[in-house]
């Protein structure tokens, strides 16, 4: 959902960036939700339509109830929905069936029910962000493709050599992101910049997590930058010596997190910037970061291993530079939004009639 009351993490940035890349190749519209309805066309060709919901199911910002959604999908050849277990996705899929459009869906980890596999029948293709995500979906393999995600290598590019310093974290300040472990693992004298805002969980004890982080950071060179404008992210990445993504399967409060990292867009953006990554060996992160080649993977929750990995890259600038250069090469080869869009279009085209034209996708 767009606007100050919406979510804007990886699960929201992904559809926007993919739609922009698709719009360079085909007629593409992004249908989304916000408190201020309207529409516009971006310079790159993407049409954006914002629908105002009547309310939100269970009060969740990813579950808007928008009666105008079916009408917004009229004329679409392919409807590609995001957030598999969401009311708008189910609405879009049912509408597409009525209109005779083909359907695709990409999951971003929103919890919910799949009704014993019945929902899977609504979609012609499952376009997963990682092999890990594909396995969690449990969709028929014949209808599943892995398209990954990406970064814009022009926006996210290395800066001048020698201008890097400290550790960077980018993401939501929620317990499963493991920022508390990062603060405990931070090498003595190292600077840490934390970009992101708190989560939406107001239940104790998770609601007290930001206060815990500030206690752990007291007296150290740690800066909480809060929500960072999208335009400021490239400079943050290219100015850091290393990006840390210490995501967890079990939080400091003992809560098990079944889906922690489906992909890791922050890792891809850092790698595009020539910044090596130290990440937990968890979920889709292990498919993006190649241990010892583009960064370092450590056991999830292991403070000692995380600290050792950070110290290694902070102290050995030659190693960090080599891993960073390898990381950018891998992004250019595999993890750009253009490459993601090409994989997506190939999946769309396989759904088109054999003699028909390439379908223009409508997206939510």
Model confidence pLDDT, tens digit, residues 99-133: 999 999 999 988 876 655 678 899 999 999 999 99
**Number of independent structural domains in the chain:** 2
Is residue 186 predicted with pLDDT exceeding 90?
A: yes
In a shared domain, residues 171 and 276: yes
Look at residue 268 and tell me if it is in a domain: yes
The residue written with tokens 């050849």 in the block is: 77
In a shared domain, residues 199 and 306: yes
In a shared domain, residues 183 and 217: yes
Rounded mean pLDDT of the chain?
91
CATH of the domain at 317: 3.40.50.2000
Let me know: does 171 contact 357? Beta carbons within 8 Å. Answer: no
Look at residue 185 and tell me if it is in a domain: yes
- The pLDDT value recorded for residue 190 is 98
In a shared domain, residues 68 and 108: yes
Look at residue 196 and tell me if it is in a domain: yes
In a shared domain, residues 214 and 130: no
In a shared domain, residues 182 and 104: no
Instruction: Give the range of the structural domain holding residue 107, as residue numbers without chain letter.
Output: 10-150+336-363
Sign of CA dihedral 336, 337, 340, 345: negative
Q: Please give the structure tokens belonging to residue 255.
A: 């809560």
In a shared domain, residues 247 and 348: no
Q: Please give the structure tokens belonging to residue 93.
A: 């899929």
The residue written with tokens 């590019």 in the block is: 157
In a shared domain, residues 232 and 316: yes
Model confidence pLDDT, tens digit, residues 292-342: 999 999 999 999 999 999 999 999 999 999 999 999 999 999 999 999 999
Pairing state between β 38-41 and 242-245: unpaired
Proportion of the chain above pLDDT 70, given as a percent? 91
Look at residue 157 and tell me if it is in a domain: no
* Least confident residue range of 17-31, 195-209, 213-227, 277-291: 195-209
In a shared domain, residues 26 and 144: yes
Helices (H), the chain: 10-23, 69-72, 87-99, 131-137, 179-185, 209-217, 233-239, 265-272, 285-288, 303-315, 317-334, 337-351
- The pLDDT value recorded for residue 275 is 98
Look at residue 244 and tell me if it is in a domain: yes
- The pLDDT value recorded for residue 199 is 62
Residue 126 CA: distances (Å) to CA of 80, 145, 299, 314, 351: 9, 6, 30, 40, 12
In a shared domain, residues 228 and 195: yes
């Amino acid at each position: 959902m767009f606007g100050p009351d919406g979510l804007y993490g990886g699960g929201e940035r992904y559809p926007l960036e993919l739609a922009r890349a698709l719009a360079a190749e085909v007629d593409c519209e992004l249908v989304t939700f916000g408190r201020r309805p309207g529409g516009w066309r971006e310079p790159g060709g993407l049409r954006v339509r914002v629908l105002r919901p009547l309310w939100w199911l269970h009060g969740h910002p990813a579950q808007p109830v928008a009666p105008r959604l079916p009408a917004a999908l009229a004329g679409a050849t392919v409807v590609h929905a995001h957030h598999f277990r969401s009311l708008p996705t189910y609405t879009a899929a049912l509408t597409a069936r009525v209109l005779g459009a083909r359907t695709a869906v990409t999951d971003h980890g929103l919890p919910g029910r799949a009704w014993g596999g019945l929902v899977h029948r609504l979609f012609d293709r499952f376009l997963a962000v990682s092999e890990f995500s594909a396995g969690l979906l449990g969709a028929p393999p014949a209808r599943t493709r892995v398209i990954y995600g990406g970064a814009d290598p022009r926006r996210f590019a290395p800066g001048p050599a020698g201008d890097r310093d400290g550790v960077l974290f980018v993401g939501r300040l929620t317990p499963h992101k493991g920022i508390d472990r990062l603060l405990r693992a931070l090498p003595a004298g190292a600077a840490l910049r934390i970009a992101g805002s708190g989560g939406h969980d107001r239940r104790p004890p998770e609601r007290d997590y930001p206060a815990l982080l500030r206690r752990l950071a007291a007296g150290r060179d740690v800066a909480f930058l809060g929500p960072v404008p999208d335009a400021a992210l490239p400079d943050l990445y290219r100015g850091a010596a290393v990006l840390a993504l210490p995501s967890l399967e079990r939080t400091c409060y003992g809560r098990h997190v079944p889906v922690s990292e489906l992909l890791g867009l922050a890792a891809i953006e850092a790698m595009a910037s020539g910044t090596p990554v130290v990440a937990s060996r968890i979920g889709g992160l292990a498919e993006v970061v190649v241990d010892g080649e583009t960064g370092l993977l450590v056991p999830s929750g292991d403070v000692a291993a995380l600290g050792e990995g950070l110290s290694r890259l902070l102290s050995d600038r030659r190693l960090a530079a080599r891993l960073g250069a390898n990381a950018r090469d891998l992004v250019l080869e595999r993890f750009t939004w253009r490459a993601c869009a090409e994989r997506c279009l190939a999946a769309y085209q396989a759904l088109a009639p054999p003699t028909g034209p390439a379908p223009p996708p409508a997206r939510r």
